[in-house]
Each structure stands twice: as C-alpha cells, then as structure tokens.
Structure 1
Amino acid sequence: MTYCVGMMLDRGLVLMSDTRTNAGVDNISTFRKMFTWEAPGERVLTVMTAGNLATTQALVSILDERTKAPEEREPSILSAPSMFQVARLVAGTLKDVISTHAETGQRADSAFNATVILGGQIRGAPPRLFLIYPEGNFIEAGEETPFFQIGETKYGRPILVRAYDRGMSFEEAVKLLLVSFDSTVKANLSVGLPFDLQVIGRDALGVTHQHRIQADDPYFLTISSGWGEALKAAMDSLPDFTF
C-alpha cells in the first residue's frame, strides 16, 4: 500500500510520500514513489504514484525517456505548454501502460491499477496540482479541494480536513503532514518510513526543499510522541459521559 499527499498553499506546493511496498506481511520493500523533472527557471514537475509497482515504474520510465528523446518522436512533459497539457500526457501514458498489461484492455479494477498525483509550475502560470485516475481522466485541486491523497487515505484525512489552512507556512504544512502520516503508519502496517518530502515555492520554478525523513529522525519522533500525548490530554479535558 501507499500514502501520498499533495497540498496547495498560497506559498506553493508541499508533497510527501511514503516508500513502503509489500506483497504480503513477509515481503516488504522500500521504493521511491516521488519523481521530479526540472528545467531550472522554466518549470518543475513532480509525480507521486500509488498502485501496482510494475505499472508505476513503467509510467515513470516512459515519461523520463521521452524527456531525453527527440521531440518529434514523442511529446515530452518538459515541452508541454501548460500544466494541463502535462496532466494530459501523464494521464494518457498511464492509461496506455495499464491497457498494455490488462488481460482485456484498460480496466479501473485491474490488478495493474495505479493512481498519480501531479504537481508543479511552468513559467508564466501559477502552481497547479492534479489527481490522475487509472482510466486516464483527472481533476485539479482548487479552493474547495486544496489537497489530494492517494493510497491508504482514510486514517490521515481527518487530520488534514480539521487543520489545513491555505495560508499556513511551509513549516506548519510539514508538521501537519507528519501528523497525518504518523496517524496512518500507526493504523496500517502497509504504510511506512522513510518519507520523501518536497516543497515547491511559488515562482521558484525548481524544488525549494527536498528531504528524506528516516524512522530515527528527531523531529518526526518528537511529532509522533507529542501528538499521542496531545490526544490523551485532549481526551482527558473533555467531560465524561454520564448514564
């Protein structure tokens, strides 16, 4: 399983993914699920993936190969004129990969299913964030839906819904995401550290901050223990039920 979150802020984008993949409780591995392409000063594009590992690796490899091939052969995400067109390229490629492997064509419920979060910015336009489905369609984040989750979403979502603020700082957003990820890890063994963190500042047109958070990261340990203690304190402060 997977847990990835892409978040829109006034200041830009914050993206975080776990790295655990598993095919059973005794077959657990670590794979990167966050991939970035940059043309410094012109664009920055980041993809996070959830789903069948063979599908997501094929998707990323094809996208990467096309950035190195002559433009007349295949369209590239590094030359698409807008983030919308980048999303169309990623969505079309994902659909093609799934169609190639599925027994009877592209099927949303196929074992080769995968979902993608795409975020980034192209010069002259604002940062944008998309959620791309295996069927090849996608939606864009906006005022009413300012963040996307993929993978094991249910445990960390209540944290984001209650505490998200579009005007928060990057530092506050990272703290919020770590609480969300910690809650997910505590509830589901198929999600695990290390976490990949990336910040894309508005108009930076490149990655502003990038960091891998290991299991022994002092700040993460502080957040994990502090959140548990805060929940207990909040519970104790509420009035007891009476019969």
Structure 2
Amino acid sequence: MTYCVGMMLDKGLVMMSDTRTNSGVDNISVFRKMFQWSVPGERFISIMTAGNLATTQSVVSQIEERSKAHADRHNSLLEAETMFQAATQVGALLRDTILACNKQNGEEAAGTFTASIILAGQIKGGEPRLFLIYPEGNFIEACFDTPFFQIGETKYGRPIIIRGYDRDMSFEDAVKLLMVSFDSTIKANLSVGLPLDLLVVEKDTFEPAHQRRITAQDPYYQSVSAGWSEALKQAFHSLPDYSMFSE
C-alpha cells in the first residue's frame, strides 16, 4: 500500500508521498513514488503513483522511453501542449499497461496489476492543474470544490486535510497539514511509512520552490508528530465529561 496527496492552493501545488512498498510483513522495501520532469521557464510536471509497483514502474519507463537509446528518447509529457493532453497520455499508458499485464498473466491475475496516479503541473499559458487518473485510464480534475486528491491508504489522513485545508493558506501551513495527515496515517497503518517525499511548486515558476526527503530522524517531522499527539490529548481532556447519571 502507499499514501500520496496532491493539493491545489492559490499559490501553487503541494505534493507528498510515502516510499513504502510491501509484499507481506516480511518483505518491505523503499521505492520512490514521486517523479518530475520540467522545461525551465516553460513547464513542470510531476506524478505520484500507487498500486502494483511493476505496473507503475512500467508506466514511468514508457513516459521516459527507457527502452530506447538515450539519444532517441523523447519524453511525451514534455511535448504535450496542455496538462489535459498530458493527463490523457498518462491515462492511456496506465490503462494499456494494466491490460497488457492482465492479458499476459491470465484472467486470474485481473486486478493484481492495478494502479492509480496523481498528475500535477503547469504548462506556460495555462493554470496549475491537478488530476486523479484511474486504472481504467479515465481521470478527473481538481477544482476548488475538490482541491486535493489522495491515492493509496486514504482514510486515516483525509479528515485532517478536510478540516484544515484553506485555499489561500501558505505553503508552510500546507506542508504542516500534510505532515499531520501522513503522521496519522503512518501510525494507523503499517503499509505506509517513512521516508516521505515533499514537493512544492509555486504558480508560474515552472520549477520546484522546495523539495526534500523527510526521514524518521527529521527534527521538524518529529516535532509535528509529538506536538500533534499532545494537542489531541489536551483537546480530548478539554471536552466536557460524560455523566452516566445525568438525565
């Protein structure tokens, strides 16, 4: 399992993903799930992946045309005229990859190779855009009624984002909100784990404003984790007590 979040703000885009993959409790590995490509001053595109690792790695390899010699590679996302076209291309690659894997491995494997993708970015002349791409290849686009997308293990961190999100919040507050969402998910589900990859992209800059990998030893992450736990305890104890003898 995994957990990835892409969020739209007035100021730009914030993305965060975990790096844990597992095939049982005794086979846990770290794999990057966030990928990015850019043309300075012209476009910046990033994807985050969840699902079968072989499927998602195949999609990324096809985007980068890794089967070809270096001189012959032409990243399709760097040639798309709009973010909608980029989402369409990634959706088609994901759908075709899943269909090919299921066909090769038989009907009993159907569903084994499923995956989903969050695609985000901006191409010059357009606004920053955020898409959720389904295994079938179709997709939906974020708006300020639905300003963020999650893939993977979503249920533990979703209530925190819903309650804390504000479209005009600062990048710093957005990162803090995602830290709390991921910390809550990590504590509730062993299939999500550190390190985390963070990416912040400011509108109309076409390059990361901030990116880093956050480990378990990261002082800020440790501070947020401990502070959130203590704040929850204090909030709980501040609530009125229940009386079994009141009418």
How much does 1:143 deviate? 1.5
- After TM superposition, which residue ranges in structure 1, 4 or more long, deviate above 2 angstroms? 66-71, 103-109
Rg comparison, structure with higher value: 2
Q: Which residue of 2 aligns with 1:89?
A: 89
Q: Secondary structure at the match of 1:77?
A: helix
For residue 64 of structure 1, report the CA deviation from its aligned partner: 1.0
Q: Does 1:233 align with 2:234?
A: yes
Query: Contact between 1:95 and 1:106, CA under 8 Å: does it hold in 2?
Result: no
1:55 alignment partner in structure 2: 55
Q: How many residues align?
A: 241
Q: Write out per-residue CA displacement over residues 114-147 of structure 1, whole angstroms, 9 at most, x where no aligned residue.
A: 0000000000111000000000100000011000
Residues 78-136 of structure 1, C-alpha deviation per residue, up to 9 Å, x if partnerless?
01100000000000000111011003889996100000000000001110000000001
TM-score, length basis structure 2: 0.93
**Counterpart check, 1:165 vs 2:166:** yes
Structure-2 separation of matches of 1:84 and 1:58:
21
Residue in 1 that maps onto 2:139: 138
Cα pair distance change 1:53/1:44, threshold 3 Å = same
Q: 1:75 to 1:40 in 2, by over 3 A?
A: closer
Q: Distance in 1 between matches of 2:160 and 2:94?
A: 30
With structure 1 as the length reference, what TM-score do the two structures score?
Answer: 0.95
Alpha-carbon offset, residue 234 of structure 1: 0.2
Partners of 2:3 and 2:151 within 8 A in 1: yes
1:211 corresponds to: 212
Structure 2 portions without partners, runs of 5+: none
Match of 2:37 in 1: 37
- Alpha-carbon separation, structure 1, partners of 2:108 and 2:100: 11
SS at match of 2:78: coil
User: Within 2, Cα distance between the matches of 1:180 and 1:148?
Assistant: 13
**Counterparts of residues 95-174 of structure 1 (less than 5 Å):** 95-103=95-103, 110-174=111-175
- Between the two proteins, what is the percent identity of the paired residues? 64
SS in 2 for 1:158: helix
Structure 2 CA distance for partners of 1:109 and 1:181, relative to 1, 3 Å: farther
